[in-house]
């Protein structure tokens, strides 16, 4: 069995229980683990935690990777240069300490960076025009009186051959959305029509 490094690529520290121990990996740092334990640790399912509003918590994102020992031994054997200021360091640990001390503000998440104000100029110039809008008045609107509606009404009609047509409509509101109604109708004639069957 050989040792590997498990790196946390998240900008937040990562914590997880593994084989009865709490594994804590600081942001952008690593822990040394046995290879088989590291593979098992990365493959261990851990659900993403949610905040009170149901949004996922970025601190629970498992952004880990395994680096073999011979990969990080090589970087220890040569000089490492800080890209921000050009200083040289003997190993990656010293570089990481330097960056976290001197350049941490440069590594802030894009969302956390302050937005710079944008300055712009509007060039307004007069336009030669003889048009002057006339002052107007809003047209008045005549309000018509609201028509009165009745719940009940009756009709009565008379026709030829003493025909009587009568109708009565009655409604009653039970609530704002329900009502009950009824209708009575009478149609009769006194006769005197020739050829009626």
pLDDT in tens, 126-177: 777 777 778 888 888 888 888 888 888 899 998 887 889 999 999 988 888 8
* Of the listed ranges 32-46, 70-84, 138-152, the one predicted with least confidence: 70-84
Closest CA to 189 of 148, 158, 149, 167: 158
Q: What is the mean pLDDT of residues 51-56?
A: 87
CA distances (Å), origin 74, targets 12, 69, 77: 27, 9, 5
CA distances (Å), origin 151, targets 132, 163, 189: 56, 27, 29
Sheet holding 179-188, edge to edge: 153-159, 163-173, 179-188
Listed in sequence order, the residues at least 6 apart from 84 whose beta carbon sits closer than 8 Å to its beta carbon are 99, 102, 103, 106
Q: What is the mean pLDDT of residues 32-40?
A: 87
| Domain residue limits, the chain | 1-50+57-76, 78-112, 153-188
Q: What is the mean pLDDT of residues 43-55?
A: 86
Which pTM was predicted? 0.36
What are the two backbone dihedrals, phi and then psi, of residue 69, each rounded to the nearest 5 degrees? -60, -40
Confidence check: pLDDT of 77 > 50 = no
Instruction: Supply 22's token pair.
Output: 């709490």
Sheet holding 64-68, edge to edge: 30-34, 3-8, 64-68
Confidence check: pLDDT of 76 > 50 = no
Confidence check: pLDDT of 2 > 80 = no
Structural contact between residues 5 and 55, judged by C-beta atoms closer than 8 angstroms: no
CA 3 to CA 92: how far, in whole Å? 18
CA distances (Å), origin 25, targets 9, 58, 75, 76: 10, 15, 21, 21
Instruction: Supply 46's token pair.
Output: 């851990």
């Amino acid at each position: 069995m050989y040792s590997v490094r498990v790196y946390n690529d998240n900008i937040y520290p990562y914590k997880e229980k593994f084989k009865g121990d709490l594994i804590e990996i600081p942001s952008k740092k690593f822990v040394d683990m046995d290879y088989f334990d590291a593979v098992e640790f990365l493959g261990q399912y851990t659900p993403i935690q949610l905040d009170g509003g149901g949004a996922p918590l970025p601190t629970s994102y498992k952004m880990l990777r395994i680096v073999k020992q011979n990969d990080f031994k090589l970087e220890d054997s040569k000089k490492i240069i800080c890209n921000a200021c050009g200083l040289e360091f003997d190993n990656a640990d010293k570089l990481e300490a330097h960056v976290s001390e001197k350049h941490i503000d440069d590594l802030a998440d894009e969302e956390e960076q302050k937005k710079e104000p944008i300055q712009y100029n509007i060039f307004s110039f007069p336009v030669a025009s003889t048009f002057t809008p006339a002052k107007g008045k809003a047209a008045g609107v005549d309000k018509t009186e609201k028509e009165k509606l009745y719940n009940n009404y009756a009709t009565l009609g008379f026709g030829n051959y003493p025909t009587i047509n009568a109708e009565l409509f009655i409604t009653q509101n039970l609530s704002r959305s329900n009502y009950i109604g009824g209708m009575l109708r009478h149609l009769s004639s006194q006769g005197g029509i020739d050829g009626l069957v």
